[in-house]
Amino acid sequence: AQSVAQPEDQVNVAEGNPLTVKCTYSVSGNPYLFWYVQYPNRGLQFLLKYITGDNLVKGSYGFEAEFNKSQTSFHLKKPSALVSDSALYFCAVRDSTGTASKLTFGTGTRLQVTL
């Protein structure tokens, strides 16, 4: 079974400071990893994904994430946070084996960026 852990319910950061939202995963095969953002009463917006290749993945809105196989982590980062980044962030994983596209989501981390 595949699983995702987001250990922080909420992350608070001041605007202009770097931010990190943590994610660890568990799959039986090689992972496909994703980050999504959700604004209030909205669906999920895709930020970035890791499938293969470079461990550092760059995505939308200046976000990036680093795949670390030994630590089974895929933390989301941004060098300089904006107030508009405040939202709910979900990490998701899919096992690369098999034909199903079933994603397993973490419980979400609320990012609060303040002035």
Binding site for another protein (CB under 8 A): 32, 34, 36, 41-46, 49, 51, 90, 94, 100-103, 105-108
CB of 5 to another protein, least distance (A): 11
Closest CB to another protein among 89 and 113?
Answer: 89
Residue 48, number of CB atoms within 10 A of its CB: 18
Closest CB to another protein among 85 and 89?
Answer: 89
CB of 15 to another protein, least distance (A): 24
Q: Where are the beta strands (DSSP E) in the chain?
A: 3-5, 10-14, 19-21, 24-26, 31-38, 44-50, 56-58, 64-68, 73-78, 87-95, 104-105, 109-114
